[in-house]
């Protein structure tokens, strides 16, 4: 079996989006940035990452949402 790696995109409410759609766009862009950085990375959304995100590929994995309140 090969090595398992993980790439993670992080977006924060309300800084990165006020609606679920805006947050998903920001987290998707951050995920693609993590993959571009060499995979096995964590990338945090920034104002520029949403503009750089490529369209999702057909059959691509779904995003998972995690909610935390402090």
The full set of domain ranges for the chain reads 8-51
Q: What is the pLDDT of residue 2?
A: 82
CA distance 53 to 48: 9
Render pLDDT for 9-50 as a digit per residue (tens, 0 to 9): 999 999 999 999 999 999 999 999 999 998 789 999 987 655
How, if at all, do strands 42-44 and 8-10 pair? parallel
This prediction has a pTM of 0.66
In this prediction, residue 8 carries a pLDDT of 92
**Cβ-proximal residues to 61 (8 Å cutoff; 6+ apart), any chain:** none
Q: Which residue has the higher pLDDT, 52 or 11?
A: 11
Distance CA 37, CA 33 (A): 6
Two tokens, residue 17: 């989006």
Tokens 């990165």 sit on residue: 16
């Amino acid at each position: 079996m090969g090595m398992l790696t993980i790439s993670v995109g992080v977006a924060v409410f309300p800084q990165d989006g006020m609606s679920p759609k805006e947050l998903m766009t920001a987290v998707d862009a951050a995920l693609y940035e993590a993959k571009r950085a060499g995979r096995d990375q964590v990338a945090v959304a920034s104002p520029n990452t949403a503009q750089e995100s490529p369209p999702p590929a057909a059959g691509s994995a779904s995003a998972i949402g995690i909610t935390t309140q402090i």
